[in-house]
């Protein structure tokens, strides 16, 4: 079996791959995550996943590289989808969750599998519907969970997801940061598993 490398620091991606029974090591990709001007918001995660995978593949050409990137997209009728990234501080996190409150947003994860110099890229999109959140709920979540490493300032599997999410359409694990079922199917199809 080939060496599989997860090109990610995300503890959630690590946990999901472990739960799927996939053996792997971790290499942190050191890449500039600046969005290419003119790129559609929905294309950003796949583009960043590809960039991360390429950097690690150059260092480990005989391994299978798995990289992913997740963004939260909030629809804006005038401007199209807006990317809500990781908050810079508590104020930014509060502002993001206030904007998501009572609305639907999409979580898009791009995944890139690099094997033998070839890149296989796909994306998964999930619609998430938040109930109306109160400011004390938002503040409690930010104080207790400190979601500063999470796109959109939240994690579905944490308290805010339990009390605040009304419904989702799509893959729950995609919202956690890795559409592991779809990834598993791709790895099987490519003969890696």
Between CA 179 and CA 170 the distance in angstroms is: 10
Asked if residue 168 lies in contact with residue 105, where contact means CB atoms within 8 angstroms, the answer is no
Q: To which residue do tokens 């971790």 refer?
A: 26
Q: How many residues does the chain have?
A: 193
As to burial, measured by CB atoms within 10 angstroms (0-12 exposed, 13-18 middle, 19+ buried), residue 23 is exposed
In the residue annotation, 32 being an active-site residue is answered as: no
Q: How many whole angstroms separate alpha carbon 31 and alpha carbon 48?
A: 9
Q: Which of 103, 124, 120, 99 is nearest to 178 (CA)?
A: 124
DSSP character at residue 2: -
Q: Which of 30, 32, 62, 69 is catalytic?
A: 69
**DSSP assignment of 123-143:** EEEEEEEEPPPPHHHHHHHHH
Pull the structure tokens for residue 94.
Answer: 């509060």
As annotated, the active-site residues are 69
């Amino acid at each position: 079996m080939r060496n599989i490398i997860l090109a990610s620091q995300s503890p959630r991606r690590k946990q999901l791959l472990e739960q799927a029974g996939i053996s792997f090591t971790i290499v942190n990709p050191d890449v500039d995550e600046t969005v290419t001007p003119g790129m559609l918001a929905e294309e950003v995660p796949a583009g960043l996943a590809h960039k991360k995978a390429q950097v690690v593949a150059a260092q480990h050409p005989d391994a299978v590289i798995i990289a992913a990137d997740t963004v939260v997209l909030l629809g804006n009728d005038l401007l199209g989808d807006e990317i809500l990234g990781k908050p810079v501080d508590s104020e930014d996190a509060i502002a993001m969750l206030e904007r998501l409150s009572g609305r639907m947003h999409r979580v898009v994860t791009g995944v890139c599998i690099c094997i033998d110099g070839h890149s296989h890229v796909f994306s998964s999109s999930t619609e998430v519907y938040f109930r109306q959140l109160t400011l004390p709920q938002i503040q409690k979540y930010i104080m207790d969970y400190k979601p500063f490493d999470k796109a959109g300032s939240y994690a579905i599997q944490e308290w805010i997801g339990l009390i605040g999410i009304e419904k989702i359409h799509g893959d729950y694990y995609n919202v956690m940061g890795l559409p592991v079922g779809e990834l598993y199917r791709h790895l099987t199809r490519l003969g890696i598993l």
